[in-house]
Structure 1
Amino acid sequence: MNIALWIVTVLLAVAYLLGGAFKVFTPKEKIAASGASAKWVEDFIPGSVKAIGAVEMLAATALILPAALNTAPVLVPLAALGLVLLMLGATLTRYRRHEPTYMAVDLAYVLLATFVTWGRFALEPFTG
């Protein structure tokens, strides 16, 4: 189970680090023009889009570094829980925008982050 948790955690960290960096360093208009799945940015001001990206990058870092450095590893499931909440908000945005296909993708991220949260709090915590 520990290996499965690490695999999912690393995949989530990479996805959120790259996605967050894209939101932080790319203008809102260019994000919106990048495809149909990115039209959600039209509902937010540029500062909010950048803040969402920064939160994603911080969560990605908190998914890996505390456990890898053995410094406050309890932050790993807390970061995963934060991603669950963030993606539930994304799911609600997709619901409001009538984007069921993208909503399903967001729910998949909710499930993966929930797996890490549950796994690191209950199944395979880093500390006894």
Structure 2
Amino acid sequence: MNMALWIVQGILGAGFIFSGWMKAFQYEKAKASWHWVNEVSRGLVFFIGIVELLGVLGIIVPQATNIVPVLTPIAAIGLVIVVLFGALFHIKRKEYQEIGVNIVFLALALFVAIGRM
């Protein structure tokens, strides 16, 4: 089970590093990739990116270093909340094709949250 959790944490980390980095530090590329970015403030996009990057640190570092490992499931729950808000945002905008990715990352983050508790 530990190996499965680490694999999922790695997948989550890779996905959120990609999206978080683009939102936080490559705004123009994010605008070109995700049309919703054009319709919200740059500050909100930056904030979401930073939260995602902090979430990656939270799901990897505490468990890997065994320093306050209880932060790993807390970070996973935080990512669940971010993804849930993203899915609700896409539902509101009737962007149903975007929700599949949200559901996958929601399930993966829930798996980590429950598995690491």
Structure 2: distance between partners of 1:33 and 1:14: 20
Question: Does structure 1 retain, via aligned residues, the 8 Å contact 2:22–2:29?
Answer: no
Residue by residue over 1:72-123, the C-alpha shift from the partner in whole angstroms, topping out at 9 and shown as x without a partner, is: 00010000000000000000011011111111211111111001111111xx
What SS class does the counterpart of residue 94 from structure 2 fall into?
coil
1:32 is matched with 31
What TM-score results when the alignment is normalised by the length of structure 2?
A: 0.94
Shift of 1:18: 2.0
Shift of 1:54: 0.3
1:3 is matched with 3
Structure 2: distance between partners of 1:33 and 1:18: 15
Structure 2: distance between partners of 1:101 and 1:113: 20
> Which protein has the larger Cα radius of gyration, Structure 1 or Structure 2?
1
Shift of 1:42: 2.6
1:1-128 alignment to 2 at 5 Å?
1-27=1-27, 29-34=28-33, 38-121=34-117
Amino acid at match of 2:66: N
After TM superposition, the structure 1 stretch with the greater mean CA deviation from structure 2, 75-84 or 101-110, is: 101-110
Report which of the two has the higher share of helix. Answer: 2
| 5+ residue gaps, structure 2 | none
**Cα RMSD (Å):** 1.1
Q: Percent identity?
A: 41
Size of the aligned set, in residue pairs, is 117
Runs of at least 4 residues of structure 1 off by over 4 A?
A: none
What SS class does the counterpart of residue 33 from structure 1 fall into?
helix
